[in-house]
Amino acid sequence: STCMFYTGIDPWTMQPVFVPTDPYEKKLQRTLLQYWKPENRRLVIEALVRAGREDLIGHGPDCLVQPDREYLISRRAAGQGGPDPK
């Protein structure tokens, strides 16, 4: 992993790999590794949305994190949410 971090190339396949250089991108990757920590929930949700993996946000057994209020509000505003609250 150190070789890939410094070169940006997988030594086995010689294919380029994504290496985050932005401090915020690094923070998002770290929070994904620590997804179970409650203080990371907002950033984990953001990272999963950015990666197009909203299927991992929910209450099911295959989900990494439960949705928070901000996520539910944004989905409802985009017309993807569930029923309107009473």
Where do the structural domains in the chain lie, given as residue ranges? 20-86
Kindly report the pTM of this predicted structure. Answer: 0.73
pLDDT at residue 23, as a whole number: 95
CA dihedral 46, 41, 36, 20 (to 10 degrees): 40
What are 10-68's pLDDT values in tens digits? 999 999 998 988 999 999 999 999 999 999 999 999 999 999 999 999 999 999 999 98
What is the Cα–Cα distance from 13 to 66, expressed in whole angstroms?
36
What is the Cα–Cα distance from 73 to 28, expressed in whole angstroms?
22
Q: Is 62 helix (H, G, I), strand (E, B) or coil?
A: coil
pLDDT band at residue 82 using 50, 70 and 90 as cut-offs: low
Contact 76, 53 (CB under 8 A): no
